[in-house]
Amino acid sequence: MTPSRATPPKRRATRSPKPPTPSAAGIGTIPLPGSPKPHPALGLGLWGLGRWDPEDEARTKATIGRAYEVGFRWFDTAEVYGNGRSERVLGDVLRRTANGAPDAFLVTKVSWEHLRPAQVRASLVNSLERLARDAVDLYLVHAPDPHVPLAETMGALEALWKEHRVGAIGVSNFGVEELEEASRHLSEARIVVNQVRYNLFDREDADPVREYCERQGILLEAYTPLARGLLHGKYLDGKRVPPEVRRFTNRIFEPDRLPEILRRARGLRDLADEAGVPLASVALHWLRWRGAAPLVGASRPAQIDENLAAWSVRPPDEVLRKADAIAWGDLA
């Protein structure tokens, strides 16, 4: 069974997302304006799973399967991840679950290289074929292209939304001005999600966007919520940061910043220890406290269990307030 293309009642945009409600796995969901499905409050991102040899692919499939088994329903991929291989592997795993995983909340993205109207439609058709679905629950513009007018791209996305090929429309890596312009080119649909890099240490650029999204009722999806493992406790006891991690983590691992970031991260670990919760619990629930939905990564099944265990423990608000101050540098 796949998301239906049967004609539903006329869509109506609703107001801002409400607080999450409990799900069977305790992950929770967040209503999306105009979407027939609620948005899970925690998801699995498949960017890091897009480059495999045969052994890696088997582990990837086991990881996705474990995520679905324990209650993850939000799966985030993109046509550029492994040149479509990520979508194909995800589709293959979900197709083999009971009844084809109709309750999965599937998100994929059109590449910044394919934002002309005909390209947007072709990209979605190809993504749906790889995912083995008739529709996706959320379709994102992966990043803006200054050479393609947003009016063209958003018009194409709205047409697909009206055809019920996508359940909702969103964007990724958009700033406030781009969000404002993109919204102006929608007539019935609306932008319901902006996916950005956001965590306790990587927030200077995202905070103004978060504030705008909060005012407009746009859900902020946060990728790299654990700062490539730093907020799971990696690198706090002398382990060297690999070059590939430095390359894909903005500036927090650059030599001029790293000593201070590590000092603050150790302060966060001490705070988590005092509260009796995992460090990752603080990091993930700080994002939820700020109104964002974290999108974690995992490369093996055990990491799925670790992330879900961290999510299952919510630190008190006072701990989250202290974590905010420590990470920002306001507390020693």
**Which comes out higher in pLDDT, residue 22 or 227?**
227
**Residue 278 CB contacts under 8 Å (≥ 6 apart), including other chains:** 272, 309, 310, 313
Q: Each residue of 194-204: pLDDT tens digit?
A: 999 999 999 99
Classify residue 24: in a domain, yes or no. no
Spatial distance between the Cα atoms of 182 and 154, rounded to a whole number of angstroms: 7
Once rounded to an integer, what is the mean pLDDT over residues 272-300? 97
CA distance 90 to 66: 12
Residue where the block lists tokens 């701990």: 319
Q: What is the pLDDT of residue 48?
A: 67
Model pLDDT, residue 318: 98
Tell me what the pLDDT averaged over the chain comes to.
90
Whole-number Å distance between alpha carbons of 117 and 114: 8
Is the pLDDT at 4 greater than 60, yes or no?
no
Residue 81 lies in a domain: yes
52 falls in which pLDDT band (50, 70, 90)? low
287: amino acid identity, one letter: L
The two structure tokens encoding residue 26: 């305790």
Rounded CA-CA distance 236/257 in Å is 14
Instruction: Kindly tell me the burial class for residue 183, based on how many C-beta atoms sit within 10 Å of its own C-beta (0-12, 13-18, 19 or more).
Output: middle
pLDDT of 7 > 50? The answer is no
**Higher-confidence position of 5 and 37:** 37
Q: With 50 as the cut, is the pLDDT of residue 185 above it?
A: yes
* Residue 15's pLDDT band (cuts 50, 70, 90): very low
Predicted pLDDT of residue 251 = 83
What is the reported pLDDT for 17? 42
Task: Provide the pLDDT for residue 55.
Answer: 79
Whether 319 shows a pLDDT value over 60: the answer reads: yes
User: Does residue 332 have a pLDDT over 90?
Assistant: no
- Give 255's pLDDT tier (boundaries 50, 70, 90): confident
Q: 235-251, pLDDT tens digit by residue?
A: 999 888 887 777 766 68
| Most confident residue range from 37-51, 208-222, 225-239, 250-264 | 208-222
Pairwise CA distance, residues 175 & 192, whole Å: 14
Say if 202 falls within a structural domain.
no
pLDDT at 130: 97
In a domain, 5, yes or no: no
* CB within 8 Å of 284: residues ≥ 6 apart: 42, 225, 226, 294, 296, 307, 310, 311
Q: How confident is the model at residue 26 (pLDDT cuts 50, 70, 90)?
A: confident
From CA 56, how far away is CA 46, in angstroms rounded? 13
Question: Over the stretch 115-158, which tens digit does the pLDDT of each residue have?
Answer: 999 999 999 999 999 999 999 999 999 999 999 999 999 999 99
Examine residue 245 and state whether it is found in any structural domain, yes or no.
no
Check if the beta carbon of residue 135 is closer than 8 Å to that of residue 169: no
Q: At what angle do helices 317-328 and 258-275 cross, to 10 degrees?
A: 170
- Is residue 313 in some structural domain? no
Number of separate domains in the chain:
1
* pLDDT of res. 51: 57
pLDDT bracket for residue 49 (50, 70, 90): low
Percent of the chain with pLDDT over 90: 78
Tell me, yes or no, whether 258 lies in a domain.
no
Instruction: Write out the chain in H/E/C secondary structure.
Output: CCCCCCCCCCCCCCCCCCCCECCCCCCCEECCCCCCCCEECCEEECHHHCCCCHHHHHHHHHHHHHHHHHCCCEEECCCCHHHHHHHHHHHHHHHCCHHHCCCCEEEEEECCCCCCHHHHHHHHHHHHHHHCCCCECEEEECCCCCCCCHHHHHHHHHHHHHCCCECCEEEECCCHHHHHHHHHCCCCCCEEEEEEECECCECCCHHHHHHHHHHHCCEEEEECCCHHHHHHCCCCCCCCCCHHHHHCCCCCCCCCCHHHHHHHHHHHHHHHHHHCCCHHHHHHHHHHHCCEEEEECCCCHHHHHHHHHHHCCCCCHHHHHHHHHHHHCCCC
Find the domain containing 113 and state its range: 29-197
Region 104-112: what's the mean pLDDT?
Answer: 98
Residue 99 has pLDDT above 70, yes or no: yes
Does residue 263 form part of some domain?
A: no
Distances (CA, A) of 230 to 172, 193, 244, 266, 293: 23, 26, 14, 10, 19
The reported pLDDT for the residue numbered 8 is 42
CATH number, domain containing residue 129: 3.20.20.100
